[in-house]
Structure formats: structure tokens, C-alpha cells
């Protein structure tokens, strides 16, 4: 039996936390963060928003299984596993990288994301990268149905029209006094919802974690509004790529503001936002709201990579 209370009754709206910083004072701008990361430890931020209406729709269609796709360190995989567990759904994760299945015990030992997902009941299907690229082809989806039975399909990253609907709820009357809304961008669903939920006077700034110009077309699939812009200079080489400057920034930010940022999305956004302020992108007296989209579970996996490179670790 499904228990949908987690998604139907969000107890408290995430707080808006104002940041005190000498740089912001020097350039006379106001910066705050909407703490979407505080919704839940694992189903937090945009993952809660994206999954909300999908889980409700799965229950409406009387499904008992959620199936989705992701990489080995995917925040989305962890979130679906936890959301399914607490809402009464079985979960299946189609994971990129068939080599991970060769010694699953060792994989789980060294991969905190997959170990967490398994602990919350997720069943895995590991596929080659070639097969993974065909994940939405009818032939492959039919093979999954033949193997697992019927399921409710949630796309990689969780982005679809129901996810965008959920992300419109990130903004509210409490956020209408801000001039700019800043958010990280992965697949485009979160910013699409934020754009749709924005007020006419607001400008939305997206900070992509990925290289390439394909995101403009993706975002336009989800919104007709034009009050947005992508800032492509702060991806640090692409998804899951970091350097010592970013790690140092994240650690300094935590020490100064007592807010932990993830290195893939929110860390890059706040690094970029600070650089834009320093370079006078914003006029004086501008009010900026940055959206913390969660993703903190991925830090443990990133620290494993940083350790191998001899880089400083992100302090949690």
C-alpha cells in the first residue's frame, strides 16, 4: 500500500537564508539562498520537486514499481530508491556501466550511492554504455517490461512535464521580491519549472554543470517564457569535473555561512555567482536568490575521486 504523505504534505517551506559577505556589501547586492536541501537528506531539493507529481501519478495509475536510469553516483538514483521505499513502491535502477556488475559486492563496498540505493530496496540492472544510449528506444523498454513486468518510468535525472510542474513550486509569494533567481542546470527541468514559476519582473540565471549549447533547446521544451539566461563559464570542464579552486571555495563557503554545497551543481553556481558580482554583472541594490538544489549525498563519492588525485577533500 502506498504512503504518499511525504509528497502531499511538506511540513515547512524551505527557509530563505541571507548571506553576509564583504564582497556582496562592497558591490551593494543582496544574496540569499533558498534551502531546498533541507527538505530531506536524500529526497531533497529539486529531487523532491521532480519526484512529487511523478510518484503521485504512479500511484494514480496503480503501479507498484518505479523504474529509472542513472550513472553509478547519481543523486537521482539515490533519491528514487529512498522515495520509493518511503512511499511503498519497489524500485529498479538501470545503471550505466555493465562492468560494475562483475563484482557487485566490491562495487557496493566502494560506491556509497549504489550501496545506499540497495539498502533502500532498489534492484539494479547494469547495462553497457552503448545500450544505455538506447535507453528510451521502444525495443529496449519492451525488454525491460519483459524482464521486470509493468512499471512507472521516470526518465534519467527525473525530468519530464510532471517534474517541471513540481519545480514551479520552488518559487512562491515569499520569493517575489528578488530581482534574480539563480539555479544550477543539469537536464533543464528544474530551471524550466523555476522560469514558469517566476514573476514577470524576475530574471532567471542558470549555471549549467555540462558543456555544450544543447540546454537552450531543452529548456525551451518546458517553458515559453524568455526571462532567462544560461551562464556557461562555470562548469569546470563538465559534469562531475572539479578542481582545487572549487573544492577550496566550497570549504570556505561552509566555514563562512554554515551551508554545505555539492561540487557538481550548487558549488559551481555559487562560485559563478560570486565571480559575476565581482565583475559587476549586477547593478547596485540588486536582490539575488540562489536555489540550493540539494545533491549532498554525492559528496562522499566525489571525495573518493579527490583522494585518488591527491586533492583536498570537501569537508562535510
Predicted confidence (pLDDT) per residue in 83-105, tens digit: 999 999 999 999 999 999 999 99
Strands (E), the chain: 16-18, 30-34, 65-70, 90-96, 122-127, 152-153, 180-185, 203-208, 228-230, 287-291
Cell of 254: 561552509
Q: Which residue has the higher pLDDT, 41 or 176?
A: 176
Catalytic annotation present for 74: yes
Burial of 150: CB neighbours in 10 Å, binned 0-12, 13-18, 19+: exposed
Q: Provide the pLDDT for residue 211.
A: 83
CATH 3.40.50.1100 domain span(s) along the chain: 5-42+161-309, 45-158
Separation of alpha carbons 200 and 179, rounded Å: 10
pLDDT classification of 9: cutoffs 50, 70, 90 = confident
Catalytic residue among 44, 74, 85, 87: 74
| Record: fold of 45-158 | Rossmann fold (3.40.50)
Q: Provide the pLDDT for residue 1.
A: 60
Q: Provide the pLDDT for residue 288.
A: 98
Q: Provide the pLDDT for residue 2.
A: 75
Q: Provide the pLDDT for residue 71.
A: 94
5-42+161-309 CATH, one of 3.20.20.210, 3.40.50.1100, 3.40.50.300, 3.90.79.10: 3.40.50.1100
What is the mean pLDDT of the segment spanning 113-141?
Answer: 96
Q: To the nearest whole percent, how much of the chain has pLDDT over 70?
A: 99
What is the mean pLDDT of the segment spanning 129-151?
Answer: 96
Beta strand 90-96 pairing with 122-127: parallel
Digit-coded pLDDT (tens) for 21-44: 999 999 999 999 999 999 988 898
Q: Provide the pLDDT for residue 239.
A: 81
Instruction: Assess whether pLDDT exceeds 70 at residue 262.
Output: yes
Instruction: Assess whether pLDDT exceeds 80 at residue 11.
Output: no
Amino acid at each position: 500500500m502506498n504512503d504518499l504523505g511525504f509528497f502531499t504534505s511538506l511540513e515547512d517551506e524551505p527557509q530563505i537564508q541571507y548571506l553576509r559577505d564583504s564582497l556582496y556589501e562592497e558591490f551593494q547586492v543582496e544574496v540569499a539562498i533558498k534551502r531546498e536541501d533541507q527538505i530531506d537528506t536524500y529526497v531533497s531539493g529539486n529531487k523532491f520537486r521532480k519526484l512529487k507529481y511523478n510518484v503521485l501519478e504512479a500511484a494514480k495509475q496503480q503501479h507498484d514499481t518505479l523504474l529509472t536510469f542513472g550513472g553509478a553516483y547519481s543523486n537521482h538514483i539515490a533519491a528514487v530508491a529512498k522515495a520509493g521505499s518511503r512511499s511503498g513502491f519497489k524500485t529498479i535502477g538501470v545503471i550505466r556501466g555493465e562492468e560494475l556488475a562483475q563484482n557487485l559486492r566490491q562495487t557496493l563496498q566502494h560506491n556509497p550511492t549504489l550501496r545506499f540505493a540497495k539498502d533502500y530496496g532498489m534492484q539494479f540492472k547494469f547495462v553497457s554504455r552503448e545500450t544505455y544510449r538506447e535507453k528510451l528506444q521502444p525495443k529496449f523498454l519492451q525488454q525491460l517490461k519483459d524482464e521486470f513486468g509493468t512499471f512507472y518510468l521516470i526518465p534519467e535525472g527525473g525530468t519530464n512535464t510532471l517534474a517541471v510542474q513540481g519545480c514551479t513550486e520552488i518559487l512562491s509569494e515569499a520569493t517575489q521580491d528578488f530581482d534574480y533567481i539563480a539555479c544550477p542546470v543539469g537536464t533543464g527541468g528544474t530551471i524550466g519549472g523555476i522560469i514558469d514559476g517566476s514573476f514577470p519582473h524576475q530574471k532567471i540565471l542558470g549555471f549549467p554543470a555540462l558543456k555544450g549549447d544543447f540546454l537552450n533547446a531543452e529548456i525551451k521544451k518546458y517553458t515559453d517564457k524568455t526571462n532567462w539566461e544560461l551562464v556557461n563559464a562555470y562548469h569546470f570542464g563538465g559534469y562531475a569535473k572539479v578542481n582545487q579552486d572549487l573544492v577550496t571555495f566550497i570549504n570556505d563557503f561552509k566555514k563562512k555561512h554554515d551551508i554545505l554545497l555539492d561540487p557538481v551543481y550548487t558549488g559551481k553556481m555559487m562560485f559563478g555567482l560570486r565571480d559575476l558580482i565581482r565583475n559587476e554583472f549586477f547593478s547596485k541594490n540588486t536582490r539575488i536568490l540562489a536555489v540550493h538544489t540539494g545533491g549532498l549525498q554525492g559528496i562522499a563519492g566525489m571525495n573518493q575521486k579527490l583522494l585518488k588525485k591527491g586533492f583536498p577533500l570537501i569537508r562535510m
